[in-house]
Amino acid sequence: MAPPANPEFPTVQQLILNPRAERRLKLGHLWIYSNEVDTQRSPLKGLAPGSQCEILDSKENSLGYALVNPNQLICARLVSRKGPFTRKQLHRRLENALALRQRYFPHPSYRMVYGDSDGLPGLVVDRFGDYLVVQISSWGMENLLPDIVDGLVALVNPKGILLRNDHQGRKVEELPEVCEVVHGEVPKMAPFEENGVALLAPVFEGQKTGWFYDHRENRARLNQWVKGQRVLDLFSYAGGWGVQALANGAKEVTCVDASGQALDWCEENAALHNRKDDLITIQGKAIDAMKELINAGERYDAIVLDPPAFIKRRKDQKSGEAAYRHINELALRLLEKNGLLVSASCSMHLESDTLLEILRGAGRHLDKSINIIGSGGQGADHPIHPAIPETRYLKAHFVHLSAGGNV
């Protein structure tokens, strides 16, 4: 269980920035890099991870207050421009985050808190109706966990809150990994709704919080075009795309994933809509499965290509772009004429225009005529901070394959 709440968040000391290092912060960004700190005047060494510091420019004018981790490249994140960050501010940020989601979503199924965009760096909260799943990836939010839990309980009175702090992001900050219920009770499969489709999220054993809400609007767009179609859902996970396609009248859906457990979850979600018999599952690597389907002469009316991030770091750019091109070429080869490919990427380092160029190149290489009939990004529950481009990561292009060849 979470420890009792602290009465206040103390300010530890001041951090002074190098000359001109404040320019990005004054434009609205919230991150401070360790090489921007004047460590001669204000050493980082010795600061407790998660402590709060006042940030000063080189002339010692206050820029605000930040939660720090002296051992990381991003050594501090601003949380308040006027005075120390307090529990009252924390609870107000949670209220504001909830108000945004309630404004745009009729059903309580969404990402309720999205880190920096909601002024709570390192905190993610996903809501599945009566249940919340919390993930923390910074010492600053880790130290505020009791107050976060108190605030969430006061706001939405959930039946249960699950702490899914067993992810890779914890290792970067050198945080302990834990998965535990910190309030009430939480079922292994949490019921929720997306685009009017009833689903179950494997919140204890699934990836991240158990679900990926970010593609909600892109899935809604695909759902209107799948009736009577054969659909191939690659990197399917628990069936976010494929099961929704079945629920919206797809004739048949094939889900491909390396995880047998994920495919079991696909079947469980399909069974909710009495469509399990129309679901085909293939366990294995997507590229291998695609090649086998090509050799077998299979063709699909709609294909979803929603892979994990191939470009996690800048140094992965060249190899990652090559990987995106390869899988998109394979997908185009599996597509029926007048078929639809949804080509997505969650790689922050891959620009939307670069993905378009990859698709153009894939079409030219295969002598296939393609048109982009739509593009999308993350939904309203993943709001983009206008000063922090890192909060914008998701892109999806809807590609129509024409019957004729290239001109």
Longest distance between any two alpha carbons in the chain, whole Å = 69
The CA–CA distances, whole Å, from 7 to 88, 120, 147, 286, 332 equal: 11, 19, 9, 51, 58
Calpha distance 117→388 (Å, rounded): 8
Calpha distance 3→53 (Å, rounded): 23
Residues in the chain: 407
Q: What is the DSSP string of 127-159?
A: EETTEEEEEE-SHHHHHTHHHHHHHHHHHH--S
Q: For residues 293-316, b (16+ Cβ closer than 10 Å) or e, as one string?
A: beeeeebbbbbbbbbeebbeeeeb
- Indicate if 179 belongs to the active site: no
Pairing relationship of beta strands 197-202 and 230-234 according to DSSP bridges: unpaired
Nearest to 233 by CA among 207, 265, 210, 201: 265
CB-based contact 95:109 (threshold 8 Å): no
Q: CA 223, 225, 227, 231: dihedral to nearest 10 degrees? A: -80
Pairing relationship of beta strands 52-56 and 11-16 according to DSSP bridges: parallel
Calpha distance 337→197 (Å, rounded): 29
Calpha distance 247→405 (Å, rounded): 33
How far does Cα 110 stand from its chain's mean position? 12
CB-based contact 243:236 (threshold 8 Å): no
Task: Write out the catalytic residue numbers.
Answer: 346
